[in-house]
Chain A
Amino acid sequence: MKVDPRCRYHEEHEWIRVEGDEGVIGISDYAQDQLSDVVYVELPEVGDSYERGDVFAVVESVKAASDIYMPVAGQIVEINDALEDSPEVVNQDPFGEAWLVRITIANPAELDDLMDAQAYKAYVEGLEG
């Protein structure tokens, strides 16, 4: 399992990478592995605002349709349209090309509640038990 040291992690396996006052959000390598082959990604619309913990997207695999939660509150400024035609990228490059949305972060203090890469790795290993 890979983790990206530049990201912070939510317990539902979303990552957020801070870039200035914006954040880029995706799902972790562990999450894509659990879902198996991703066949569809449903994204929100630019301009939508969400609270921390809100469902903002759905990733559907051959096994299940999973809700994706906001790791922090924010407003969508960009969505990754390319995933509509190539959802398989979520499996191939979860921390890179398969980013889901870019947001403006409403309350940077919420980032402190997320796990860093090391803590997330330990958290997942705990789940694997």
Chain B
Amino acid sequence: MSYVPHTDADRAAMLAAIGVERVEDLFHDVPAAYRFPELSLPEPMSEMEIMAELQAMSEENLDTGHFTSFLGAGAYQHYVPRVVDHVISRSEFYTAYTPYQPEISQGTLQSIFEYQSMICALTGMEVANASHYDGATSTAEAVIMALNVGRGKRKRVILSPWVHPEYRAVVRTYTWGTDLEFVGDDLSASAGQGLTATLDGLTALLDGNTACLVVQSPNFLGQIEDLAGLADRVHAAGALLVVVTDPISLGLLRPPGEYGADIVAGEGQALGNGLNFGGPYLGFFACREKDVRKMAGRLVGQTVDAEGKRGFVLTLSTREQHIRREKATSNICSNQALCALATAVHLAALGKTGLRKLAELCYHKAHYAANRIAGLDGYQVTSERPFFKEFVVRCPAPVKAINDYLVDEWGIIGGYDLGRDYRHLENHMLICVTEVISREEIDILADALAEASREVA
């Protein structure tokens, strides 16, 4: 499509049509002082000078290329094989949008179809959509879907306090203005009662008005929840079970689908996508076929054309605005196609055994680190349940003080300060260890923490 700017004659005609002489007259409501303000900008620079300046600024950042990082809490550093960048950088894929006539792009649709199929296999679910923006929005869509499956009659949403705090915040933002009742994640009543919200405590909140119960496993503290029997209890109340999970953990753990989950959602960044300063990420989303018409987003399907040849189509997008108009139950008409492709390529490169090995590496390295830290004076590993790649450490000093010391003296990015989100977890650090961390780096962390305990506490 060529871009044809307006000619002077066009502009004159348009101005005449609205009875204005000059373009400037359109702005006369803006006080003159603010119309063309003097901006105190530096003198223009050459591209070379700007590149040098930006380079210098970016080097102020602490990055995982130069610092060993034990920070996770929802964004994870994993090794992304080179093949991922190679495939997603191909110009055929290098657009984030599914075309408005999707079937014209068979390659794009096939890549989404493969991604969906892998998410289904991973989560043990029947249907997966083409992805959402991130784990938080995916979780919010899961809650909205559960409300719609309950035909809007059920107004109670039970949130485990160990669902990522930002996901819970986004769930509330997405549903703001509706008359929902959120229960379960108010810890002020139960502060100090342990790290795992007991699932018994959450199921006690189930009633005939409950649309869904949302748990995360491994939860925000890295701990693996005991999901056995949970779905039966949730279903007995007529509600849906939403499980938020880490896709890499599913290389090792039983998929939520086998526990009877109705919706499985989560952050897919860990597979194939770098930390990217917090985004773009992708939210994966899977559900049961019986509920698929309440699912947000879009679904790519495989079919045959008039000649019997394999082809791919946009099979379902029932909740989207372009078909439902103002009755749409979701605002999502898009997906994170490129990030989802990265996930699919990473999964394909890993294969079944590769994914299991990756999960095992994370598990064993995290447990090695936990053992080392548990042996340090002043530190206590307080994870009560089995954990995957993150665990909670009670520190002898405020987490911020310890983290500052680690960065300044050792070049180590420490763990997440849980006191930011949970008042009763002040001085508790969430430490993440993935396959990219070496045994030597873990040993150095232990030495650094021991020194920090002496210097800071």
Residue positions of A touching B, CB distance < 8 A? 40, 42, 44-45, 58, 60, 64-65, 67
Question: A42 near B323 (CB under 8 angstroms)?
Answer: no
14 A-B pairs, CB-CB below 8 angstroms?
Answer: A40-B293, A40-B318, A42-B293, A44-B151, A45-B151, A58-B327, A60-B293, A60-B318, A64-B323, A65-B318, A65-B323, A65-B324, A65-B327, A67-B327
Bound form: Cα–Cα A72–B323 in Å: 27
Bound form: Cα–Cα A113–B151 in Å: 30
A61, closest chain B residue (CB): B323
Q: In the complex, given contacts A42-B293, A64-B323, A65-B324, what are 11 additional A-B residue pairs having Cβ atoms less than 8 angstroms apart?
A: A40-B293, A40-B318, A44-B151, A45-B151, A58-B327, A60-B293, A60-B318, A65-B318, A65-B323, A65-B327, A67-B327
Bound form: Cα–Cα A58–B151 in Å: 12
| A residues in contact with B151, CB < 8 Å | 44-45
A60, closest chain B residue (CB): B318
Q: What 0/1 readout, one digit per residue, does chain B (318-336) give for beta carbons within 8 Å of chain A?
A: 1000011001000000000
Residues of B123-158 contacting chain A, CB below 8 A? 151
| B residues in contact with A40, CB < 8 Å | 293, 318
Bound form: Cα–Cα A127–B324 in Å: 23
A64, closest chain B residue (CB): B323
Residues of B302-332 contacting chain A, CB below 8 A? 318, 323-324, 327
Bound form: Cα–Cα A60–B324 in Å: 9
Report the minimum CB–CB distance from A6 to chain B (whole Å).
Answer: 31
| A residues in contact with B293, CB < 8 Å | 40, 42, 60
Bound form: Cα–Cα A114–B265 in Å: 47
Residues of B270-329 contacting chain A, CB below 8 A? 293, 318, 323-324, 327
Report the minimum CB–CB distance from A115 to chain B (whole Å).
Answer: 25
Bound form: Cα–Cα A64–B322 in Å: 9
Tell me the dominant secondary structure on chain A's binding face. strand
A58, closest chain B residue (CB): B327
Bound form: Cα–Cα A123–B151 in Å: 34
| B residues in contact with A65, CB < 8 Å | 318, 323-324, 327
Bound form: Cα–Cα A45–B154 in Å: 14
Interface size grouping (class) on chain B: under 10
Bound form: Cα–Cα A58–B318 in Å: 11
Report the minimum CB–CB distance from B295 to chain A (whole Å).
Answer: 13
| B residues in contact with A64, CB < 8 Å | 323
A55, closest chain B residue (CB): B327
Bound form: Cα–Cα A40–B292 in Å: 12
Report the minimum CB–CB distance from A34 to chain B (whole Å).
Answer: 15
Bound form: Cα–Cα A67–B324 in Å: 10
| B residues in contact with A60, CB < 8 Å | 293, 318
| A residues in contact with B327, CB < 8 Å | 58, 65, 67
| B residues in contact with A44, CB < 8 Å | 151
Report the minimum CB–CB distance from A12 to chain B (whole Å).
Answer: 14
| A residues in contact with B324, CB < 8 Å | 65
Report the minimum CB–CB distance from B70 to chain A (whole Å).
Answer: 49
Report the minimum CB–CB distance from B301 to chain A (whole Å).
Answer: 13
Report the minimum CB–CB distance from A81 to chain B (whole Å).
Answer: 14
Bound form: Cα–Cα A58–B327 in Å: 10
Bound form: Cα–Cα A64–B318 in Å: 9
Bound form: Cα–Cα A58–B324 in Å: 10
Report the minimum CB–CB distance from B208 to chain A (whole Å).
Answer: 14
Bound form: Cα–Cα A65–B327 in Å: 9
B328, closest chain A residue (CB): A65
Q: Which 5 A-B pairs have the closest CB atoms?
A: A65-B324, A65-B323, A40-B293, A64-B323, A67-B327
| B residues in contact with A58, CB < 8 Å | 327
B294, closest chain A residue (CB): A42
Report the minimum CB–CB distance from B201 to chain A (whole Å).
Answer: 31
Bound form: Cα–Cα A44–B151 in Å: 9
| A residues in contact with B318, CB < 8 Å | 40, 60, 65
Bound form: Cα–Cα A74–B327 in Å: 23
| B residues in contact with A67, CB < 8 Å | 327
| A residues in contact with B323, CB < 8 Å | 64-65
| B residues in contact with A45, CB < 8 Å | 151
Bound form: Cα–Cα A64–B323 in Å: 6
Bound form: Cα–Cα A4–B323 in Å: 30
Bound form: Cα–Cα A64–B327 in Å: 11
Bound form: Cα–Cα A51–B376 in Å: 69
Report the minimum CB–CB distance from B47 to chain A (whole Å).
Answer: 51
B320, closest chain A residue (CB): A65
A67, closest chain B residue (CB): B327
Report the minimum CB–CB distance from B149 to chain A (whole Å).
Answer: 11
Most chain B Cβ neighbours within 10 Å, of A42, A44, A65: A65
Bound form: Cα–Cα A40–B293 in Å: 9
Bound form: Cα–Cα A57–B318 in Å: 14
Bound form: Cα–Cα A64–B324 in Å: 7
Bound form: Cα–Cα A65–B319 in Å: 10
Bound form: Cα–Cα A110–B324 in Å: 30
Report the minimum CB–CB distance from B148 to chain A (whole Å).
Answer: 10
